[in-house]
A and B are shown apart, each in its own frame.
Chain A
């Protein structure tokens, strides 16, 4: 099932001579359970692609469908509901609310969506448990390490019934061990059926994806071939 579909999406900022074409005719489909990485240099349109996919910005032209529903026909409220229910965001700087504990940060979007406080808390704790953070649930963000904060942000992005995870340089500020842990978590969320789009300029992050698309000057210029099995890299030993 296609969770995210972008068809001929373009985005232009400014007018006349000051016009900037951030995206030009982008087509992108992401199936349930797939992780797609979008690689490109600064200014290639990566972040714009993500904000449009997440309904935070409207495209100048083209269509975006999330879970089969076209964003163009939705009211502001309907888009906000979609973001609370279906779409999870992970940013480089975590974006956790400092006055809330880890569990409250994860439960908040569910509560805002109308789930009772008790149920929201249970779902939040469940998501934190799943990421090995059950014991840190009552800590505030400033009591957590960078790696733990990003795991809380991922728990928040996948808690409830979310189907689309949008991540912008999700391990940018982390060391390589924590960055790998973050990518493993996103990959595991995909195995449970979440569709993920990760934008990054970092090839090590992108290499966790099933498919890597290359963005340049707002256009998708290339993408990787379907993955060959890992065994193709390992030569059987003489004893085998």
Chain B
């Protein structure tokens, strides 16, 4: 989550005070990501240093100090909006690790391990769905954040289901020999950023 760019986005609407920026940031992200005032002023300080915002320069970082976006700031914001985040390298996902490790630990009921995580994720999704049910229709920002979280958790559950299916199949069908050339490709895909 780029607080830096979120603040630039809020300032693109017009000059604002630090406290006001914090309140608007929280309101527009469905209050799912709390932000403390210190974080706001530290970020604004860096933005000012980089020439992306200007302040009206009245002394300390008090609640009365106003900020506005510069032309460079607007350019930076436009570039950021259209730059895809780096999703090319698989993250070192702890859940994936746990399932891979479970396969190697003798006597482990891997499907039991998978079910523990599946249940936990479904319970989390139930809670997010309740939030959407009660507040999602009146708060667009919150509905979008909750949807993102639900799709993310859903994807993890789908992976667990697929892993479960693969394990079931692997139990009755021995794995085929690896074709020549594939191991190198695998190593390349697994490279971390």
A residues touching B (Cβ–Cβ < 8 Å)?
Answer: 39, 41, 180, 184, 187, 201-204, 206-209, 212, 214, 221-225, 227-230, 232-239
Q: 0/1 per residue, B112-155, Cβ < 8 Å to A? A: 00010011011111111111111000000000000000110110
B95 is an interface residue with CB less than 8 A from chain A: no
User: With the chains together, A124 CA to B39 CA distance in Å?
Assistant: 57
A209, A221, A237: which has the most chain B beta carbons within 10 Å? A237
Q: Are A207 and B115 also in contact (CB < 8 A) when A41-B161, A234-B31, A238-B37 are? A: no
Q: 0/1 per residue, B1-42, Cβ < 8 Å to A? A: 000000000000000000000110010000110111100000
26 contacts between A and B (CB under 8 A): A187-B133, A203-B121, A203-B153, A203-B154, A204-B125, A204-B150, A204-B151, A206-B125, A207-B122, A207-B125, A207-B126, A207-B128, A208-B133, A209-B126, A212-B119, A212-B126, A221-B115, A222-B115, A224-B123, A228-B123, A228-B127, A230-B131, A233-B127, A233-B131, A237-B35, A238-B37
User: With the chains together, A175 CA to B59 CA distance in Å?
Assistant: 54
Please classify the interface of chain B as helix (H, G, I), strand (E, B), loop, or mixed, using the class held by over half of its residues: helix
A201, A203, A236, A239: which has the most chain B beta carbons within 10 Å? A203
Pick the contact of B34: A201, A202, A235 (CB < 8 A).
A235
Which residues from chain B contact A204 at a C-beta distance below 8 Å? Answer: 125, 129, 150-151, 154
B157 is an interface residue with CB less than 8 A from chain A: yes
User: With the chains together, A203 CA to B119 CA distance in Å?
Assistant: 10
Which residues from chain B contact A203 at a C-beta distance below 8 Å? Answer: 121-122, 125, 153-154, 157-158
CB distance from B155 to the nearest CB of A (A): 10
Contact A225 B154 (CB under 8 A): no
CB distance from A222 to the nearest CB of B (A): 6
Residue ID in chain A nearest B125 by CB atoms: A207
Residue ID in chain B nearest A204 by CB atoms: B154
CB distance from A227 to the nearest CB of B (A): 6
